[in-house]
Amino acid sequence: MQTLTFALKGETFAVSIDAIKEIIEYPELTEVPMVPRFLKGVMNLRGAVIPVIDLSERFHLGVSQPGRKTCVVVFEVKSSDGQKHILGFVVDAVHEVVEIDPAQIDPTPEFGNSIAYEYIRGMLRLGSKIVVLLDLEKVLAMDQLESLMVPA
């Protein structure tokens, strides 16, 4: 399984690359009124309006402050009705794509995480480092987000 590792507020996270379409430099975003705080805004991606989620805000880690390494990871996710949608999420920096063996994934411990357990696929052992492996579909394909999604 291949995963993308990235930074949020000084911590390293990982997601499967299966749903990732591309990674782009942090774009100019248009703010949208009356939406959840974690929705940074929308961006124009080759003529399509794409909602952009602030994962730091979504996980209650604080608001992202764009820097020179800030990126948007664009991915495709399915809503509860099975329709595919394109979304983006902001990360502080992208590290690398890593090939992992399922044996490197440990169950989520019952303490020490500020992210809801349902969002976590497991704890990934990368050398001496432990990385939170997120389940993107559970993080982002929730009822609250479905009204924000753009069909693929």
Domain ranges of the chain: 2-151
Q: Which CATH superfamily is domain 2-151 in?
A: CheA-289, Domain 4 (2.40.50.180)
The reported pLDDT for the residue numbered 145 is 54
The reported pLDDT for the residue numbered 140 is 62
Structure-token pair, residue 22? 């591309």
Low-confidence ranges of the chain (pLDDT < 50): 142-143, 149-150, 152
- What torsion do the CA atoms of 29, 30, 31, 34 make, to the nearest 10 degrees? -130
- Rounded to two decimals, the pTM is 0.83
